[in-house]
Amino acid sequence: MKEVMSGNHAVSYGAMLSRAQVIAAYPITPQTQIVEMLSEFCRTGRLKAKFIKVESEHSALAACIGASIAGARAFTATSAQGLALMHELIHWAANGRMPIVMADVNRSMAPGWSIWTDQNDSLSQRDTGWLQFYCESNQEVIDTIIQGYKIAETVLLPVMVVLDAFVLSHTSEGVDIPEQKLVDKFLPPYKPQYKMDLNQTLAFGALVTPDYNFELKYQIQEAMEYSLTLARKVDKEFKRFSGRNYGLIEPYRCARAEIILVTSGTITSTAREVIDNLRKQGEKIGLLKIRMFRPFPAQEVIEALEDCKKVAVIDRNIGYGVGGILCQEIKSAFCNNARRPEIFGYITGIGGRDVTPDTIMEIVIDVRKNNKADNRIKYVGLRKLR
């Protein structure tokens, strides 16, 4: 069934179709609509879940952690300051191997107060052991929430589904809502091997000496590596019943491309339009969308980019003191690769500044005229300061 809905409501539908059993959340713009709709689903009985109206995001994730260890499928959603407040428990959920799914609506970190999009909130959590998916459309949002649970519950790691503030969260699009019966078949009830259980009387999360801890952390890395393979498999399986899949990355019109733009989130849609126009004019240019950021699908990225001459990575984030975070990841992926395109880094759209087809064209024009990349960061759409 197709319905017009916002990205936020696509998240709510995704959590409902996944039959989340415990939801704990706290209001924050631009996420709030997600949990408003979920509380309505709970009220009407469309979703049989316990909704804990907590007093902070820290408690939201703590309650999800409690629910998860007691054997329930748990869901939460947040944004920016809320995500940062959760940080301690973001580690806790991953180290405790809890398959929680969380939606993060990308919003610029304060101060100054901002409710508009950039990726610094979620990218600050990149080394915590959460899988991260960056969505381009509302359809992708609903589908990724469902896929997220399947992946999370197999590898026992939490999953963060990320969408841009307003550009996606508050923008309505036609969304095909998967049939519940089919989702149920794809995503059976959560049956954890270990949980708080009167018959097992285990102690979870005890003090762990140096004798054991290294292996525990290593196993998270191992699970991360495996989740690349798993996410591919789950994505294919998802296609069998829905007709849709996304890949971990998506090369778009990259055949024989000399220049490839790399994007994530909604900038991808804008860039697609630019690429279509340029291709029409005969330019050898393509686009690579990064959907999965953690674990980073480095090998796929290399294969998608190694044949082109120039790569322009577009970051809607700043790794202060380094540059664009996506750009760093891609450079590092190519570090030990014999064939390597010139990699240019562009930062744009910070704090929710519009990224239009003209912004993308500005990047294309710049990358066209430079043949050799250096480590200088280029800013697009930045006003002159002095």
Partner 1 sequence: MKFTIPQEENMHPGHLACPGCGGALAMRLALKALGKKTMVVLPACCWSIINGPFPYSAVKVPLFHTAFETAGSVSSGIKAALDILGKKDITVLAWAGDGGTFDIGLQALSAAAERNDDFIYVCYDNEAYMNTGIQRSSATPWGAWSSTTPAAKEEPKKNIMDIMVAHRIPYAATASVSYPDDFIRKLKRAKDIKGTRFIHALVCCPTGWKCSSEISIKLTRLAVQSGIFPLYEVENGLKYTLNKPQQISPDNKLIRSYLGAQGRFANLSEKDTKKIVADIKSEWLRLLNKIEGNICIKQ
Residues that bind partner 1 (CB under 8 A): 21-22, 24, 48-50, 52-56, 58-60, 62-72, 74, 88-89, 92, 196-198, 200-209, 212
Distances (CA, A) of 191 to 62, 70, 153, 250: 20, 11, 8, 32
Tell the smallest beta-carbon distance from residue 217 to partner 1 (Å): 13
DSSP-derived 3-state class of residue 159: strand
Nearer to partner 1, 4 or 202 (CB): 202
Nearer to partner 1, 84 or 231 (CB): 84
Nearer to partner 1, 35 or 63 (CB): 63
Q: What is the DSSP letter of 350?
A: G
| Phi then psi dihedrals of residue 348, to 5 deg | -155, 165
Tell the smallest beta-carbon distance from residue 181 to partner 1 (Å): 21
Given a contact cutoff of 8 angstroms between Cβ atoms, the answer to whether 121 and 106 are in contact is yes
Q: What is the DSSP letter of 323?
A: B
Q: For residue 146, how far is the Cα from the chain centroid?
A: 13
Contacts of 115 (CB under 8 A, 6+ apart): 29, 30, 107, 165, 166, 352
Query: How far is 24 from 75, CA to CA, in rounded Å?
Result: 7
Tell the smallest beta-carbon distance from residue 200 to partner 1 (Å): 7
Nearer to partner 1, 86 or 157 (CB): 86
Nearer to partner 1, 59 or 144 (CB): 59
Tell the smallest beta-carbon distance from residue 39 to partner 1 (Å): 14
Distances (CA, A) of 359 to 71, 195, 347, 373, 382: 47, 50, 11, 20, 11
345, β-bridge pairs: 313
Tell the smallest beta-carbon distance from residue 37 to partner 1 (Å): 19
CA-nearest of 248, 222, 31 to 121 is 31
Tell the smallest beta-carbon distance from residue 24 to partner 1 (Å): 6
Nearer to partner 1, 69 or 363 (CB): 69
End-to-end CA distance of the chain: 54
Q: Which residue has the tokens 């018959």?
A: 199
Dihedral angle of Cα 174, 36, 268, 182, to the nearest 10 degrees = -60
Tell the smallest beta-carbon distance from residue 42 to partner 1 (Å): 11
Nearer to partner 1, 64 or 312 (CB): 64
